[in-house]
Amino acid sequence: MQSLTSLLSTYDPLTGEIAGASTVERHLCDLRGCFADSAAFEAALARANPLLYSVAAVAPAQGEGELHYGVGKIMPGKIGDEYYMTKGHLHAWRPAAEFYFGLSGEGVMLLEDEATGESRMLPLRPNSAVYVPGFTAHRTMNVGPTPLTYIGVYPARAGHDYSTIAKANFRCIVVERDGKPVMLERPART
Ligand code: PA5
Ligand code: MN
């Protein structure tokens, strides 16, 4: 039997911290190539390099059948019309699905089926759960005025494949139109 400390962890739904867990921080400079408006990105980065999001993760055990979870916190803000977002990824083990649970703030998730390219935008809010099927790229945006926090629960062997997104990016973007998030086709690079 595993020790109690690996069976129980405590997280803060507002700060996104998990007691005793390691946290990864992503600043604006880490998101180069993600935002459609590269001129707005470079102009913002010339002014400052703010923290865009952090992820704390708990990995109690490795192996088939085990589960891990992470708590993400995305700050409010935009680059051009696009909301602050995560890098986004596919799971290295493609069949791995994931559940996201909104904790605080207001977000959306962009899901893209790797085989068909079909894209969907779903709300991520407190008291809602988003199911990310296997073989699906996923990215999360904060579309509200306060920090967005959420939990993601995934198979221990899922892994993160960032390189596929870094090469091709998502087919769609999420922008603010009349104060609301709208999913659009990614504009061609000029
Ligand atoms: O495992 C997940 O899907 C999440 O915990 C993400 O890692 C988190 O949302 C941060 O996104 P990304 O890993 O794309 O930077
Ligand atoms: Mn994931």
DSSP states along 16-57: --BTT-EEEEEEGGGGTTTSS-HHHHHHHHHH---EEEEEEE
Three-state secondary-structure class, residue 5: helix
Using a 6 Å cutoff on CB, does residue 70 contact ligand 1? yes
pLDDT band at 6; cut points 50, 70, 90: confident
Using a 6 Å cutoff on CB, does residue 72 contact ligand 1? yes
Tokens 């911290």 found at: 17
pLDDT band at 3; cut points 50, 70, 90: confident
Closest residue to atom 10 of ligand 1, CA basis: 86
Q: Report CA-CA distances (Å) from 33 to 15, 25, 169.
A: 27, 18, 8
Do residues 118 and 112 make contact, with C-beta atoms less than 8 angstroms apart? yes
- pLDDT above 90 covers a percentage of the chain that reads 95
| Beta strand 67-74 pairing with 129-132 | unpaired
- Predicted model pTM: 0.96
pLDDT score for 4: 65
**Cα distance between residue 102 and residue 71, in whole Å:** 10
pLDDT score for 7: 93
pLDDT at 190 over 60: no
- pLDDT above 70 covers a percentage of the chain that reads 98
As a whole number, mean pLDDT of residues 57-83 equals 97
pLDDT score for 1: 65
Looking at all shown ligands, the one closest to residue 89's CA atom is 1
Measured CA angle at 173 (ends 170, 177), to 5 deg: 175
pLDDT at 5 over 90: no
Using a 6 Å cutoff on CB, does residue 86 contact ligand 1? yes
Centre of ligand 1 to C-alpha 161, Å, is 10
Using a 6 Å cutoff on CB, does residue 94 contact ligand 1? no
pLDDT band at 137; cut points 50, 70, 90: very high
As a whole number, mean pLDDT of residues 151-169 equals 97
- State which residues have CB under 5 angstroms from ligand 2, the bound ion: 98
Q: Write out the two tokens for 79.
A: 């680059």
As a whole number, mean pLDDT of residues 129-138 equals 98
Cβ-proximal residues to 75 (8 Å cutoff; 6+ apart), any chain: 50, 51, 52, 53, 84, 142, 147
